A and B are shown apart, each in its own frame.
Chain A
């Protein structure tokens, strides 16, 4: 081994390295690792602190794309790896209104860490094109326990786009702080959502001309992505800041003080749509010709838009709020919710109806219009007023009838245009039986196999989802997919001779009739036949895992009822039928019973799920319910010679 430096120099360097002040930070969190590994066993990185500080400034000379009030969020995270030498990755979103600046990472030795940055368009499944962009930031972390300071700044050109702050992150945070530095010239309202059950401390301190409002929470676990999780806004604690007004040189300017101001801005954006209804006249005349009543005319236009305008969303800049002109949507035969709502409004207006643009937050959002913020809504529909009654037309739905409403908008408040004013109303909410599924089976046993026929009737959401799925399947795969759906993908059940109904009918329930053969449902033991009458075992596999972190969102409210008549084979009599079982609560219920009718057995079952979201607090009761259902399902009918 050749030594390049004399040993004495090496010893000196080593001494210097060991005594430099930066190294004391290197081991700062080593003693915490065991504790964090116990508290957050599945995490690789813990943030010892994450602080967002929001500052506001007045823009003396705003450009055309800027507003008078700007905002910036300075974020500093102290990341501590719980494992050695990880590569940390973060995604920073930006768009035309928000820029990301000063991204910096400093290691425990106070040296800048090189950052890999990859930025580009961000695509969401349902949006064809938007101005949303994503920067993926990557940098290496060192040995476990060594803290890295990761900072960046988000700059908002217009304060109206500054809305939600969530406490939870992709990683656990030991101390999470959100601080608003509100200057005296700014009137701001900070709204709290889903704080119940979380120990979030709020302080307000006046520091000269600035009021510092700070929210702090400790040891907040990481957000966990799980299937069927409701939108974050529904269950996670968060803040929405409402910038109500600002004063400059003694003049008070209102921003979003209440819903009137929010509507005022929406209305001003929509004033520039540039509708030219001329090219729509022919189609409107064709659609309402031979329609006798106003309702038939509205239906004709509403259904044409549903059937012929594809959903393709452009949310580029202001197009996230401004509908595309009706003539463009009509010509292109595509549009997003706003484009479809505006086309409906324009066509219905041409047909002589009072039709209006309408803003709404879907069931993904827990807000109503008492919150004057851009985060209050995420959807646009059209309201038509017929003889004083409001009908809400959602052009993005498929196969939905007039006066019927999808689960996602039921019960939600709507903001309806009314010239310079606005109207507030609410979409009707339907009980679970709107989505009723009725199954009627007639079964017989032959050669240890069950054969028979079934009629399945679908209503409401159940019906619409079957119609939509059937329409979206490739022609040549429709029969196979339908049979698969009707057998519940159960390989023991063969579906035959399906009488295909009109899948496009919006008014009548969807009824499917077919024959079936079920194998492996009859067990012969000596003189006895053990028979499984209900092989569907609906909801039997819906037990919530003990480690699930999020509430569970069902696709819809359910009302499922079935009636099965099983003929007793010649030479056999009914030896045993399971006891009836009934269990109900405000959110769900089950009722199942077998009736011995001598030559046949009648099996009836009804399951109702009244609420589309199953809260975590209800998981234990739900799992007990599922266990009871399964006990009932697993008991079999016994026929004996």
Chain B
């Protein structure tokens, strides 16, 4: 009996777990989400975000044992707010949410100041009826997008609301491309935030392109949350942010320029969606790839019209003059002058007004410049 069991065990070890079990999302609830008190400095705020977490799982779809061009993207959003004034009560007394996919759902709890948890019956949520235009029907129906709304009962100042929204979307790389939806946002929210986490778990052959700005945290690899298999692995990356003040509504303040912000996009590594031999999911922090940019825009160089030809000729003439004057000392100067030159012509073409700059003098009376403007005017008449 012992020998049979041992043989079976050895056989099992050799035969079975070559495929890693697909990880799940939304299972780990960090201790930060169990907090009920807010820091003293935020006691006078309308509301405080106690916790906010967004998780994404990108997994390859398999048909008859082979990976396909399909990717399943799962999203899990978890938010927890403390409501501290009437404004917040009014604002959160109705909850609007969107789920994607047949399994899309929302779970909503209210934690009373006594500590009692009340789960809201989401069966009373109302689906907003929308007639989807014919052209979008196949996409919408496939995605099973639902716009829902529900009035939250018995909400009082001091209550904590805690909700999760799960969605699932199938992405066909053949039709929708290998670059998934890009995201850019500020980590400063409408309310002060005690804790926020964003997490990407990706199957082999994917990478998350990630950049942080203005002191936003960098993305980290999480070995514990990653799952390794012989045929397929899932690597998990995340970034955390804590104790973040709310965004300020100030004049001439652009949120993404002034506050800690991140941008990211998950992409597939190769153009061959069926290729399984790609490396592990990784992070790309390199930002702009000059070669890729060149590939993207190289075609534009072939765009040839009288206006473009004139512009190129005129810009070249202008830069040659500048160079002979000894003004252009390096590549940066050339690019800068090239930009100013083109901007001036562009603005005068489209806004019909004089642009006062040091180029003005040089441009006035130039034959070629007049030719460009005339060519553009002719084009417009057409």
Contact = CB atoms under 8 A, between A and B. Distances in A.
Interface of A: 116-121, 128-129, 133, 310, 312, 314, 331-334, 471-477
Nearest to B84: A475
29 contacts: A117-B131, A118-B133, A120-B130, A120-B131, A128-B94, A129-B126, A133-B129, A310-B89, A310-B90, A310-B93, A310-B155, A312-B93, A312-B94, A314-B151, A332-B153, A332-B154, A333-B153, A334-B93, A472-B86, A472-B87, A472-B90, A474-B45, A474-B46, A474-B88, A475-B44, A475-B45, A475-B46, A476-B45, A476-B46
B13 to A, nearest CB: 57
Nearest to A473: B87
B241 interface: no
Contacts of B156: 333
Given A472-B86, A473-B87, A121 B128 contact: yes
A128 B126 CA distance: 10
A310 B153 CA distance: 9
A331 B128 contact: no
Contact of B128 (A117, A120, A310, A473): A120
B255 interface: no
Contacts of B155: 310, 333
With most chain A CB atoms within 10 A of its CB, the pick from B88, B131, B133, B156 is B131
B151 A471 contact: no
Interface in B64-115: 84-90, 93-94
B131 A118 contact: yes
B46 A128 contact: no
A128 B151 contact: yes
**For the complex, would chain B's binding face be called helix, strand, loop or mixed by DSSP majority?**
loop
B149 interface: yes
A475 B85 contact: yes
Given A475-B46, A476-B46, 6 more contacts: A117-B131, A120-B131, A129-B149, A334-B93, A474-B45, A474-B46
A332 B87 contact: no
A47 B94 CA distance: 42
B154 to A, nearest CB: 5
Contacts of A473: 87
A332 B128 CA distance: 21
Given A121-B129, A471-B86, A474-B85, A331 B153 contact: yes
A331 B151 CA distance: 12
Contact of B87 (A119, A333, A334, A475): A475
A309 B163 CA distance: 23
A312 B94 CA distance: 8
A371 B369 CA distance: 75
With most chain B CB atoms within 10 A of its CB, the pick from A133, A334, A473 is A334
Contacts of B85: 474-475
A-B pairs, 9 with minimum CB distance: A474-B46, A332-B153, A120-B130, A475-B85, A119-B131, A474-B87, A333-B154, A121-B129, A312-B151
A603 to B, nearest CB: 34
Contacts of B154: 331-333
B11 to A, nearest CB: 59
A481 to B, nearest CB: 11
Contacts of A332: 151, 153-154
A133 B128 CA distance: 11
A438 B194 CA distance: 45
B130 A121 contact: yes
Contacts of B94: 128, 312
Nearest to A316: B126
Contacts of A128: 94, 149, 151
Nearest to A134: B131
Nearest to A477: B46
A332 B118 CA distance: 12
Nearest to A468: B86
Contacts of A312: 93-94, 151
A474 B46 CA distance: 5
A118 B131 CA distance: 6
Contacts of B93: 310, 312, 334
Contact of A334 (B84, B149, B151): B151
Contacts of B46: 474-477
B304 to A, nearest CB: 27
Contact of B44 (A117, A121, A334, A476): A476
A310 B90 CA distance: 8
A310 B92 CA distance: 11
Interface string B108-138: 0000000000000000001011110100000
Nearest to B191: A474
Contacts of A116: 133
Nearest to A123: B128
B371 to A, nearest CB: 32
A323 to B, nearest CB: 16
A477 B248 CA distance: 11
Contacts of B130: 120-121
Contacts of A333: 153-156
B133 to A, nearest CB: 6
A6 B45 CA distance: 82
B126 to A, nearest CB: 5
Contacts of A477: 46
A120 B149 CA distance: 15
A471 B46 CA distance: 11
A475 to B, nearest CB: 4
A428 B317 CA distance: 84
Contacts of B128: 120-121
Contacts of B44: 475-476
Nearest to A332: B153
A477 B84 CA distance: 13
Nearest to B190: A474
Interface string B325-342: 000000000000000000
B339 to A, nearest CB: 38
A580 B209 CA distance: 73
Contacts of A314: 151
